[in-house]
Amino acid sequence: MSSANIEDRAGVSVDFDVVVVGAGFAGLYALHKLRDQLGLSVCVYEAGDEVGGTWYWNRYPGARCDIESYCYSYSFSDELQQEWEWTERFAGQPEIRRYLNHVADKFDLRRDIRFGTRVVSAIYREERSAWEIATDQGTRVSAQFLVAGTGNLSAPKVPDFEGLDDFSGQVYATSRWPREEVDFTGQRVGVIGTGSSGIQVIPELAQRAAHLTVFQRTPNYVTPLGNGPMDPEFQRYIKQNYGTIRTRSRQHNTGVPYDRVQPSALDAGPEERRRTYEARWREGGFRFLKDAYSDLMVDKDANETAAEFIREKIREQVVDPAVAELLMPYNYPYGAKRPPLETNYFRTFNRDNVTLVDLRRTPLHGIVPSGVETSAMVYELDSIVLATGFDAMTGPLLRMGVCGRAGRSLAQCWENGPRTQLGLMVDGFPNLFTITGPQSPSVLYNMPLAIEDHVNWIADCIRYLRERNIKTIEPSVESVSEWGSHTNEIANSTLLPTGHSWYTGDNIPGKPRAFMIYLGGAPRYRKICDDIAANGYEGFILGRELTTG
């Protein structure tokens, strides 16, 4: 890759039209769209050694998507949709990684990606109307546009357990799993954390380890994934109908073609409700949450009907009633934390080699050389697996050292929580685009589709600017404030902000509490974005004049 050293019409030279950060689903599509369809010079920086993002880093046993694979994939190329064969209903990490490598090959993307290179600072130079980007490899380049494809779940939470460095065994993190297979045979293994990753890794480790101890702070509402081999007949059907399936997916808030949701759990009688919940439970995926009743996330009583059904299912699956009780979530609504989907999770606690430790009753004191110490005792371990989650949504952007106009850092701008217009741009940070940024539908939508929507919007925006010789775009302070109020108002009309999780930043000590996802639904959100663009980027300031310094 060579820098383009582009002399723009105003006579200021930049190395690239666009620098993209990240080579996951977002960065890969951004590169293809901006380079191959808009003809821009694009350079991508990726901290990992290969493409894949989430699916490069999270290689732990059991890692897989929980949106159906035929939906959890790009829709931008029908040729790609037709040629790729998914082998499972919900693809595992190796298969998704293969898929993204195939995409990188097919569209010849690697030649413009610098791997093993982390962006450590991105500073907006007002005198040049350009971003200056520095990496941990000593590179320094400039670009007119900076596109962050840094992901929502790519900055692991820094573990804050006292004594972790003194542990005499091995420590693994699900979010930074080693490339080579880890052999846990004969080992006493402890897993800390029972969020989505913990719930995927625990059944796998129980089969490999001599003994597995699970340290749980908050029990989760977990429903079945319903994975299995892809039915060839269904695969044929999808390929013949992909256009319609994608259209229907885009019309749904979750980005999947679910279509049997009923208005109210409370209007249905107990028998009918049970039948509906049973059916959705059997079907798996997010059908139980998203395709049963539409008032589950807005009405406490409706939510409780689903919550109680899940508790009953836990009682049915876990043989020891005392253990079942510990696994039961009570004091927050179903869906207010990211609902994990499981394969054999609850039944794993029936195994003789698995122990559940309830950290609410016996809090974790720290790590000692021989294992994990709680208020009750020391659990002797050979390996510790941290499934402790991410500094989600804002973490990856804040860790990139972004400074906008007048040297104001993103951290300063977001000291009370993220402020954005549409989750796509930030006031005072011209020409910085954040793919699936905070306050957009992002993680509560099917991410590849959310990413495509954003990249398409960004590409249209850049094309618009270029055609009119406009140098910069940034949202007005007012539009950012309005978007924040709108986002909060919708969130507060639901039960979601009542949970304490990475949705709200509560999992990171000191992080300002804010609900970081747009809950108005992707179809409504897309229309708002499209209308703003159609109205000449209403609410944005377009900089026609170049200030020279």
Give the contact letters, 436-475, x = binds to ligand FAD (CB under 6 A), - = no.
x---------xx---x------------------------
Residue 55 CA: distances (Å) to CA of 48, 63, 294, 435: 11, 9, 31, 17
CA-based nearest residue to 215, from 369, 94, 356, 378: 356
Q: Cβ distance 424 to 454 under 8 Å?
A: yes
Which of 12, 20, 34, 72 is in the footprint of ligand FAD by CB under 6 A? Answer: 72
Which one among 12, 14, 19, 26 touches ligand FAD, defined by CB under 6 A?
A: 26
- Minimal distance in Å, beta carbon 369 to ligand FAD? 30
Residue with tokens 């402890």: 190
Per CB under 6 A, does 27 bind ligand FAD? Answer: yes
Q: Indicate whether 423 belongs to the interface with ligand FAD (CB under 6 A).
A: no
Least spacing, CB of residue 8 vs ligand FAD, in Å: 25
3-state secondary structure of 331: coil
Q: Is residue 400 close enough to count as binding ligand FAD by CB under 6 A?
A: yes
Determine if 396 is a binding residue for ligand FAD (CB under 6 A).
yes
In terms of CB distance, is 58 or 479 closer to ligand FAD? 58
- Per-residue binder mask for ligand FAD (CB under 6 A), 317-336, x = binder: --------------------
Q: Which two tokens stand for residue 337?
A: 């934390």
For ligand FAD, give the closer residue by CB, 21 or 403: 21
Phi, psi values for residue 96, rounded to 5°: -65, -35
Give the residue, chosen from 66, 132, 382, 453, that forms a contact with ligand FAD under the rule CB under 6 A. 66
Q: Does 366 bind ligand FAD (CB under 6 A)?
A: no
Q: How far is the CB of 434 from ligand FAD (least distance, A)?
A: 10
Which parts of 75-114 are beta strand (E)?
A: 113-114
**Stretch binding ligand FAD (CB under 6 A), from 25-33, 357-365, 465-473, 539-547:** 25-33
388 binds ligand FAD (CB under 6 A): no
CB of 23: closest distance to ligand FAD in angstroms?
Answer: 6
Q: Which of 197, 213, 216, 253 binds ligand FAD (CB under 6 A)?
A: 197
Distance between CA atoms of residues 138 and 37, nearest Å: 30
Residue numbers 146-185 binding ligand FAD by CB under 6 A: 149-154
Among 42, 47, 209, 426, binds ligand FAD (CB under 6 A): 47
Q: Which of 18, 24, 216, 290 binds ligand FAD (CB under 6 A)?
A: 24
Tokens 């253990």 belong to residue? 323
Show Cβ contacts of residue 189 under 8 Å, excluding neighbours closer than 6 positions: 205, 208, 209, 211, 212, 213, 381, 382, 383, 384, 385
How far is CA 497 from its chain centroid? 18
Beta-strand pair 13-14/6-7: antiparallel
**CB of residue 120 to ligand FAD, shortest distance in Å:** 7
Q: How far is the CB of 503 from ligand FAD (least distance, A)?
A: 13
Work out the angle at residue 134's Cα, subtended by the Cα atoms of residues 131 and 136, and round it to the nearest 5 degrees.
Answer: 160
With CA atoms as reference, report the closest residue to 213 among 236, 238, 188.
188
- Residue 264's closest CA among 221, 213, 302? 302
Which range of residues in 49-57, 158-166, 272-280, 532-540 is near ligand FAD by CB under 6 A? 49-57
Burial group, residue 149, by CB count within 10 angstroms (0-12, 13-18, 19+): buried
Beta strands 371-374 and 378-380: pairing type?
A: antiparallel
> Is residue 394 near ligand FAD by the rule CB under 6 A?
no
For residue 409, give the DSSP letter: B
Beta bridge partners of 170: 383
Contact (CB, 8 A) for 288 and 280: yes
Residue 65 interacts with ligand FAD (CB under 6 A): yes or no: yes
* Count of other CB atoms within 10 angstroms of residue 421: 26
Kindly state the smallest distance separating residue 364's Cβ from ligand FAD, in Å.
23
Which are the contacts of 396, defined by CB distance < 8 A and separation ≥ 6?
A: 22, 148, 150, 151, 152, 154, 155
| Strand 540-543 versus strand 472-475 pairing type | antiparallel
Between residues 118 and 217, which has the closer beta carbon with respect to ligand FAD?
118
For the bound state, the minimum distance from the C-beta of residue 423 to ligand FAD, rounded and expressed in Å, comes to: 12
Q: In the stretch 84-123, what mask flags binding to ligand FAD with x, by CB under 6 A? A: ----------------------------------xx----
The reply on whether position 193 binds ligand FAD by CB under 6 A is no
Q: Which is nearer to ligand FAD, 53 or 61 (CB)?
A: 53
Q: Residue 23 or 326: which CB sits closer to ligand FAD?
A: 23
Residue ranges of E strands in 378-531 = 378-380, 383-386, 402-403, 432-434, 472-475
Closest distance to ligand FAD from the beta carbon of 427 (Å): 22
According to the binding rule CB under 6 A, does residue 31 interact with ligand FAD?
no
- If residue 13 lies in a helix (H) or strand (E), which one and from where to where? strand 13-14
Residue 191 to residue 188: CA distance in whole angstroms: 10
Cα–Cα distance measured from residue 218 to residue 192, given in angstroms and rounded to the nearest whole number = 11
User: Is the separation of the CB atoms in 91 and 99 below 8 Å?
Assistant: yes
Q: What is the DSSP track for 218-234? A: S----EE----BPPHHH
Q: From the CB of 101, what's the least distance to ligand FAD, in Å?
A: 13
Q: Look at residue 170 and give its three-state secondary structure.
A: strand
Task: CB nearer to ligand FAD: give 91 or 327.
Answer: 91
Site for ligand FAD contains 54 (CB under 6 A): yes
Pick between residue 48 and residue 539 the one whose CB is nearest to ligand FAD: 48
Per rule CB under 6 A, is residue 46 in the interface with ligand FAD?
yes
> Quick one: 213 or 227, whose CB is closer to ligand FAD?
227
| Residues found near ligand FAD in the complex (CB under 6 A) | 21-27, 45-48, 53-54, 56, 58, 63, 65-67, 72, 118-119, 149-154, 197, 396, 400, 435-436, 446-447, 451
